[in-house]
Structure 1
């Protein structure tokens, strides 16, 4: 099902939603820009559940069946944050909600957890949550088809809203034309090497391809924990390879701590092409942030990234990798410089539709 604008419920009092987590940028951008509509409870502080969490919401207190047993809300809406929850605990949570007559909405962001090598735990969690939900939401038609095939459930498709705030988007749009005056910059960010990343599968092809293009730079970023000698997730082979290639001038290497949001937006806006090195996954907020900042995305063929919006793609799915498809996509991005980003007007209209779709859904499940 696609987003359809429905009549607004102007006369009804606002519903109170227990969104997990409510402070995440995705959830914040489900709200109407005008500020009306459903009221989302703040995330409780894990150390003091009686007060709001602020920036610290992990682990989500709302996933505690005892919290759900006593808290006041109209609809419980789970997005993510249940990675470490045993399926049995999630089952108890859904039974508490059902016993109280509280509707349970579940947005299926990840059909495969990008942080888990072994998919079995996530599959077991999904089995509980998808079957128990009174209503399902997902972000792409492809994900909805997989949900129907696996569980015989229909999910409403509501696209991912913007990630970057609209004023920052507007500034990025204004300065993007100036990027043609500098070298074309290809970015690969390895973060802290999530389970679904295999950088050495694609790096040799990226280095070779960029070296053959005029006025083009390959920038590789990663967190200190994978390259520092005492890093908790150090990959010695990757570290040695990256430092050797950087010393030879074949790539620029940036090693740093986690970016703040502002630093991340500045980094993404500095790129012309962001390459995603995933071998499995479902959807990507990184992709959406790139589109907000007019940075072209080159995404793998796994998951449903291509369903999210206009991007370039290459073959990289499980054990299936095609170096030629990666090379061709990078060359295309460099020579054609496609305009695949979202405009402020598009994101503004999209947020209106996304907010209305959620408001209508909450009213429907609330009876």
Structure 2
């Protein structure tokens, strides 16, 4: 009888998609990678097995998150290599002040994470839906939560604090930071492949549909551009990034928008989409002849450069700038535009490192699981 192969299922559950990878537990070799897209409309599961030339594709008519998760679990259960699902590893965007490291999921932890949903309304409910679905559909496997905020949890209070009354700060109104799993992977890869930069002052730029920067010294987070929510800092695909707080008051008091309308505008209609009126996709903007598309690209590059200079102050200098994420890795014109605005900082190295939050989550799970 063939010995079962313990595997880890790493999930990134979004509003209309589920991205997943299956890792062999000990070697962390990728055995399968795939995604479910179009959840809520015309969903489709696609997955590629290690060594296979063509992906597997399965339509999932009228799929909700439960149906999509069931299809992913079934694909793993039906595989003929004797996989045994040891754990399901979930990306959770907001861990608040309490969750500073990955944890085994319990009902109490789920309740505490649900209370943080208002701080990440585009992400947290879907992350928790993935946990609920895996508990029902793969009850034999342990659930592990990995947090995008954890990497920033030990930032000095000087970089965490809003200039607000203590009574509000005591209720958790502070800066948390996000994209921590991506930045932790970059720190891991820098230490592995560029040991001479292990102790360096690095600004990491995670640029994609969601975008932020992180100041790292010796592989630890010092400062970051996102704040209490994943809306702050850089402009993003559809998110505004930082704006004058008084503008939000104006939208409500003078323009008559209620909180739901303001939230929808700032999260769904702003950023590159709002600036260009063309698209939230950087490649589409770079290919467009529309002047507003060019303006959106220039604006984005300017803000990345401005925030990089700000984080260089937090670090006391800059030794390296690392680009990652869909835009950071693939949009060379954006990288060039950012670097052109940073010449006054003097000499520093520029690196491009592929994002791999899933591998970082698998590493955490391997160390957290009992032998």
- Does TM, scored on the shorter chain, surpass 0.5? no
Q: TM-score, normalising length from structure 1?
A: 0.34
Greater RCO, 1 or 2 (C-alpha within 8 Å, sep 6+): 1
Higher strand share: 2
